[in-house]
Amino acid sequence: MTEELREHVAEELLRSRARSTALTDAVDEHDLVRQHSKLMSPLVWDLAHIGNQEELWLVRDVGGREPVRSDIDEYYDAFKYGRSVRPELPLLNPKEARQYVGDVRGKVFDVLEKVPLQGRRLVENGFAFGMIVQHEQQHDETMLATHQLRTGEPVLHAPAPPRGKLVPATEAFIPGGPFEMGTSDEPWALDNERPAHTVHVDAFFIDTTPVTNAEFAEFVLAGGYDDRRLWTEAGWEHRTTAKLVAPRFWQREGNSFTRTAFGVTEPIVPDEPVVHVCFHEAQAYATWVGKRLPTEPEWEKAARFDPETGRTRRYPWGDGEPTELHANLGQRHLRPAPVGAYPAGVSASGVHQLIGDVWEWTSSDFHGYPGFEAFPYREYSEVFFGPDYKVLRGGSFGTDKSAIRATFRNWDYPIRRQIFAGFRCARDA
Ligand SMILES: [Fe+2]
């Protein structure tokens, strides 16, 4: 078991590093050090930060080894300096950053070979290694979002996603009653996904697919952005000050739209899930169609609950790991797949594409579950609990399979649009 686990950890470390390398080798030195948006760090910051977190947890803490570079810790501490000021810090240059992450990784493989993967909660089932793999993959998704904000010739390329297929029902009925939410036994689940607990959810309907570009374009053309009644007070204020008129990266030409993604401009694809909308835009659209956003427990029940057995599944399709037949994950394609493209990934209730394609806004604030315990550090999630953040679920085409589960919880400000976020609607039964 331990050997198998070590091999699995090693494979995941290599896979995440291959992705970080591809994302940073794709651009020149100038593009690595410059800030493509105030919302993002320079790519070279993400790279060295990945190495620094890996050093802190795996080299120093788990391995008990001497620091590789203790002089740079503060510049890569995400809590000390916000994204907007990071370009002014005395950061490692691209060559130094590559050298640094390589040196750290060399030591980590040595630690992985020698350290017992038991006896301490931090290393049980390889948790600390899994946390670092997920951390790197999360920053890879962040770097992918930076690529989306970068201007210039396209540098990333990927094959087209599978074709969409007809999904006969537009809504699925989810029966009322209790279900088990969260997890206590998923080995690499993070603190905010724990513990498993019973939640009662009233019966509801949820859309079988995410809202598409064609559907969202109708909302724009119908004047949805100018109809005060559709927006909450905070939403209207934001729409007004930020001058929102359409999803981010859309351009309007008469009554049609193009969008720019990773340097390529093309007409919007009608049956592809809409992406780069903020919570407020999602909420206004849902109101326009006479629905609402799902709550977080509703989303998870639609994804995991099997009405036949009453059992909660690990993923919508069952307990097996995601394959490329189940979901659009891992930057395999550089866009969401059209609706219906993953019939093998459907949930027991008949809901499609809950995992992958686009992060889905829920109406819920980010809070700890009953019995929540911060682990291994408060800054992972506890310091973000409260009304400032909305929960997003399911992962996007830019999320790696190691960093998504049907229990996985992401959170962000309701005004954020640079993330790969879309949504689906729900309504009371
Ligand atoms: Fe980080």
For residue 50, how far is its CA from the centre of ligand 1 (angstroms)?
7
Residue 120 annotated in ligand binding = no
- Based on the fold, state whether residues 234 and 303 are members of the same structural domain: yes
In whole angstroms, give the CA distance from residue 366 to residue 233: 20
| DSSP per-residue codes, 106-152 | HHHHHHHHHS-SSSSTTTGGGHHHHHHHHHHHHHHHHHHHHHHH--S
Q: Which residues of 368-383 are buried (b: 16+ CB within 10 A; e: fewer)?
A: ebeebeebeeeeebbe
Residues 132 and 191 in one domain: no
Domain count, the chain: 2
User: Within this chain, do residues 234 and 312 fall inside the same structural domain, yes or no?
Assistant: yes
Interatomic CA distance for residues 68 and 72, integer angstroms: 10
99 domain residue, yes or no: yes
Pick the last residue of a domain from 106, 121, 149: 149
**CA of 419 relative to ligand 1 center, distance in Å:** 15
- Do 315 and 402 fall within a single domain? yes
Which pLDDT tens digits describe the chain residue by residue (429 residues)? Answer: 589 999 999 999 999 999 999 999 999 999 999 999 999 999 999 999 999 999 999 999 999 999 999 899 999 998 899 888 888 899 999 999 999 999 999 999 999 999 998 889 999 999 999 999 999 999 999 999 999 999 999 999 999 999 999 998 999 999 999 999 999 999 999 999 999 999 999 999 999 999 999 999 999 999 999 999 999 999 999 999 999 999 999 999 999 999 999 999 999 999 999 999 999 999 999 999 999 999 999 999 999 999 999 999 999 999 999 999 999 999 999 999 999 999 999 999 999 999 999 999 999 999 999 999 999 989 889 999 999 999 999 999 999 999 999 999 999 999 999 999 999 999 999
224 and 116 fall within a common domain: no
Are 186 and 109 within one domain? Answer: no
CA 161 / ligand 1 centre spacing (Å): 29
The residue type of 357 is D
User: Is 416 annotated as ligand-binding?
Assistant: yes
Residues 249 and 105 placed together within one structural domain of the fold:
no
The answer to the question of residue 154 being in a domain is: no
Expressed in angstroms and rounded, the spacing between residue 142 Cα and the centre of ligand 1 is: 10
Q: Do residues 195 and 223 share a domain?
A: yes
Domain carrying residue 80: 2-149
The answer to the question of residue 55 being in a domain is yes
Among the candidates 97, 118, 149, a domain finishes at: 149
| Domain closes at, from 149, 182, 203 | 149
Q: 135 and 185: one domain?
A: no
Residue 20 assigned as binding residue: no
Are 272 and 202 part of one and the same domain?
Answer: yes
Tell me the pairing of strands 421-422 and 359-366.
Answer: parallel
- Whole-angstrom CA distances from 244 to 34, 113, 157, 250, 328 are 26, 52, 29, 11, 28
Ligand 1 center to 49 CA (angstroms): 7
Of 341, 377, 221, the closest CA to residue 285 belongs to 221
Residues 120 and 195 in one domain: no
Tell whether 332 is in a known binding site: no
| CATH code of residue 117 | 1.20.120
Look at residue 155 and tell me if it is in a domain. no
Backbone conformation region of residue 263, classed left if phi is above 0, alpha if psi is from -120 to 50, else beta: left
Q: 197 and 114, same structural domain?
A: no
162 within 8 A of 341, measured Cβ to Cβ: yes
